[in-house]
Amino acid sequence: MKSSGNTILITGGGTGIGRALAEALHALGNEVIIAGRRKEALDAATTANPGMASMVLDVEDPAAIKAFAAQVTAAHPRLNVLINNAGIMRPEDLRKGETADAEAMIATNLLGPIRLIAALLPALQKQAHATIINVSSGLSFVPLALTPTYSATKAALHSYSQSLRHQLKGTTTEVIELVPPGVQTDLMSGQAANPQMMPLAEYIAEVMSLLKSQPDAPEICVQRVGFLRFAEAQGRFDATFDILNSQHR
């Protein structure tokens, strides 16, 4: 992906990684549209970044996604980059037999990107060059047992991204997977202040450096996520799983 001259839509762009990415890309001269459920968070981001646009979107709602796709492409006909960043992460005790949180995470983290890609792909493919970036997780590769459905949705998004990339081979649309480690955001309670998590500014700086230096890379993996991303390939999956989950037995 080229680093400037794009028209970029970022879901979950009002807070956390989404907002930080939006600000970094906006600063490079890209036209940036952020989308999310909470208008107040979107307004705070656009107020702090004059020229950035926002639109409310509930990615759990299939009808809302279709209407949103029509609206955003009409308002921004040069849209050529979609960043599927919106996500929710909730702890689960599978022994309780409850599925409400699981269903919400599947709808937001997996069905949301799939539906939005389907709705926007015809418009993206009309551009001279387009990019779809799916934000997965290091937990795609080694699950955190405390958050089983979150980990599973991100693993599914990784697999989906691989197939999408293959199907779009030879077209003008590329597919990039952004694989974050644990980052200091409000994704989970207490995470923003957790010293074991990667500072958000540090994460974004490394991501932007990688995007500039490796514009054709299919995956963007900062150094810290390699512990999870390459655990199986390096023959240490079981040991890594045990380390990751030792505090949640």
Given a contact cutoff of 8 angstroms between Cβ atoms, the answer to whether 9 and 31 are in contact is no
Q: Is 150 tagged catalytic? A: yes
pLDDT (0 to 100) of residue 9: 98
pLDDT (0 to 100) of residue 26: 98
pLDDT (0 to 100) of residue 136: 98
pLDDT (0 to 100) of residue 237: 98
Q: Choose the weakest-confidence range: 26-35, 83-92, 188-197, 228-237.
A: 188-197
Given a contact cutoff of 8 angstroms between Cβ atoms, the answer to whether 56 and 78 are in contact is no
Rounded CA-CA distance 142/160 in Å is 17
Q: Which CATH number does the domain 7-248 belong to among 3.40.50.1820, 3.40.50.720, 3.40.50.1370, 3.40.630.10?
A: 3.40.50.720
What is the side-by-side order of every strand in the sheet holding 173-179?
53-56, 31-36, 7-11, 81-84, 130-135, 173-179, 219-221
Write the pLDDT tens digit of every residue in 28-82.
999 999 999 999 999 999 999 999 999 999 999 999 999 999 999 999 999 999 9
Res 249 pLDDT > 70: no
Of 66, 173, 159, 63, the residue nearest 125 (C-alpha):
173
Mean pLDDT value of segment 8-32: 98
pLDDT band at 232 (very low <50, low <70, confident <90, very high): very high
Each as own residue / partner, the long-range contacts of residues 19-22 (CB below 8 Å, 24 or more positions apart, any chain) are 19/45, 20/200, 20/201, 20/203, 20/204, 21/83, 21/85, 21/204, 21/207, 22/49, 22/52
Domain boundaries along the sequence of the chain? 7-248
pLDDT band at 248 (very low <50, low <70, confident <90, very high): low
Mean pLDDT value of segment 138-159: 98
Res 14 pLDDT > 70: yes
Query: In whole numbers, what is the pLDDT of the chain averaged over residues?
Result: 97
The catalytic position among 80, 106, 136, 150 is 150
